[in-house]
Amino acid sequence: MDFSLSPEQLELQERATIAGLEFRDEAAKWDREDRVDYRRVLARMVELGFCGLTMPKEFGGQDGDALSYLIATAAIFRSSRSWIPNEPLFSTSGPGPALLMLGSDTLRQKYLPDIVQGAKSCAIALTEPNHGSDLTYLESTAEPHGGEWVVNGDKAFITGVLENELYATFVRFSGIPGAAGVGVVILERDMPGFTMDRGPEFVGDRGLPHGTMQMRNVVIPEENVIRGPGHFAEVMRSFNMERLHNTSASLGFAEAAYDEAAAYTSQRHAFGRPVIEFQATYHSLADMWVTIQAQRLLAYQAAASAVDGHFPQLLDVSAAKLFGNLAVVDITLKSIELHGGNGVTMDYPVQRIHRDVVSNIVAGGSPSILRNGIASQLFPDQRFRQTAPRANMG
Ligand SMILES: Cc1cc2nc3c(=O)[nH]c(=O)nc-3n(C[C@H](O)[C@H](O)[C@H](O)COP(=O)(O)OP(=O)(O)OC[C@H]3O[C@@H](n4cnc5c(N)ncnc54)[C@H](O)[C@@H]3O)c2cc1C
């Protein structure tokens, strides 16, 4: 078994590191002001050749696989110290485009070329004010009407609302209860009856909003149905690109926190010596490094499990995301501690990295939900029911 990266993968990693560095000095401002000129970031990432990494060439993509996506995004998280420069990669080759790959030829031709080339960005909208982990209870609906579909409902915590042009939106079809009724449609930002707002202010992952969507009798053509009812497992497998992206953030940010701790303790002196010379410090750095190696192996395994380069397997990506989410919080906290008082000032980036990784924990599935998924794969003969005994599945 060969764990080394190919020359092409190393070259991609190097290019991504350099690209991320371009944005490092802006990350604090985006965080402080909770604003970003996202169009400029997107245009620059398109220019640097990071869009459509995993998408087929016929749509303007680069025909790469999920491992290329992981390598590039982890390097950008690490060098930029920010989540924002990876959003163009997320929207042009992440879960939105992966979901669209499941659509009809007509739908793919209609949207993928613009998405893949960064002309239109695609967000994903599952969560609702009353339902996050329990996706099978979604209340947003799609009802048939004269050869079209009428969509109603509310969504919450949707990353990139207002900035994205397209929204891959999970809805319940024709009132069919439970997972069997859930499918995905594409909404366009300017469709009548579709509104959005910035939603609550977040402590981390700031700059772009994680806002709300309101859908009031939004009429969409039949062709905008990516997958109707009866395909829950399949659409959730496309959503696993979201979990891979989140895994990549845990890896890249853990590396960034390690880099910051190593640099700080090398130049900071106490008791007449560089802080890194104390055994407590270099043992902490060694532990951080070992944990990062384990994170990386699980992350690479999850990426390598992807079918057709777009669909990571649930077990692998859940394990990688769960381990990464928990490990990176310990690493960033330890890095803060190694910075002393400076670690909790806004002058050093490690506090922002910590706020970002805490914010990422539940996005794409909380640790408990990931454990549920892992356990159900490990014990396929068991039925781990999550529903209340007399719950209404509607
Ligand atoms: C930074 C950020 C970005 C996000 N971006 C998006 C986005 O772009 N699109 C989108 O659709 N959503 C997005 N989300 C929403 C995210 O996916 C949800 O927050 C997440 O799925 C959890 O749902 P919830 O917040 O409703 O929590 P709840 O489902 O209410 O969970 C609350 C607690 O209950 C626990 N719990 C629930 N059910 C079970 C169970 N069966 N067993 C054990 N424990 C359980 C959970 O683990 C959690 O600890 C984002 C969230 C964040 C924080």
C-alpha 384 – ligand 1 centre gap (Å): 19
User: Which of 158, 161, 187, 362 has the most ligand 1 atoms within 8 A of CB, as the residue to mutate?
Assistant: 362
Nearest residue to 391 via CA among 139, 175, 137: 137
**Using a 6 Å cutoff on CB, does residue 368 contact ligand 1?**
yes
DSSP 320: H
Distance of CA 312 to the CA centre of its chain: 13
| Beta strands in the chain, from DSSP E residues, in sequence order | 122-125, 141-145, 148-159, 166-173, 182-188, 194-197, 210-221, 225-227, 269-270, 273-274
Q: Residue 332 has what pLDDT?
A: 98
C-alpha 210 – ligand 1 centre gap (Å): 13
Determine which helix (DSSP H) or strand (DSSP E) holds 198, and give its type and residue range: none
C-alpha 64 – ligand 1 centre gap (Å): 30
Q: Residue 385 has what pLDDT?
A: 84
User: Which of 157, 158, 163, 171 has the most ligand 1 atoms within 8 A of CB, as the residue to mutate?
Assistant: 157
CA angle 236, 102, 65 (to 5 degrees): 80
Q: Residue 375 has what pLDDT?
A: 96
**Using a 6 Å cutoff on CB, does residue 356 contact ligand 1?**
no
- Token pair 């992807």: residue: 306
**Using a 6 Å cutoff on CB, does residue 315 contact ligand 1?**
no
C-alpha 103 – ligand 1 centre gap (Å): 26
Measure CA of the first residue to CA of the last residue in the chain; give whole Å: 48
Report whether 219 contacts 192 (CB < 8 A): yes
Q: Residue 180 has what pLDDT?
A: 96
Q: Residue 384 has what pLDDT?
A: 86
Q: Residue 391 has what pLDDT?
A: 52
Strand partners, 56: none
Which residue's CA is the nearest one to ligand 1's atom 50? Answer: 363
Q: Residue 230 has what pLDDT?
A: 96
Which residue's CA is the nearest one to ligand 1's atom 2? Answer: 363
- Which residues, at least 6 apart from 210, have a Cβ–Cβ distance to it below 8 Å? 157, 158, 159, 161, 199, 200, 202
For the chain, state the CA radius of gyration.
21
Report whether 95 contacts 160 (CB < 8 A): no
pLDDT (tens place) for every residue of the chain, 394 residues total: 888 999 999 999 999 999 999 999 999 999 999 999 999 999 999 999 999 999 999 999 999 999 999 999 999 999 999 999 999 999 998 889 989 999 999 999 999 999 999 999 999 999 999 999 999 999 999 999 999 999 999 999 999 999 999 999 999 999 999 999 999 999 999 999 999 999 999 999 999 999 999 999 999 999 999 999 999 989 988 889 999 999 999 999 999 999 999 999 999 999 999 999 999 999 999 999 999 999 999 999 999 999 887 889 999 999 999 999 999 999 999 999 999 999 999 999 999 999 999 999 999 999 999 999 999 999 999 988 888 776 555 4
- The Cα–Cα gap between 248 and 93 comes to 14
φ/ψ of residue 54, rounded to 5: -100, 5
- The Cα–Cα gap between 267 and 144 comes to 66
- Token pair 């501690």: residue: 337
- The Cα–Cα gap between 90 and 246 comes to 10
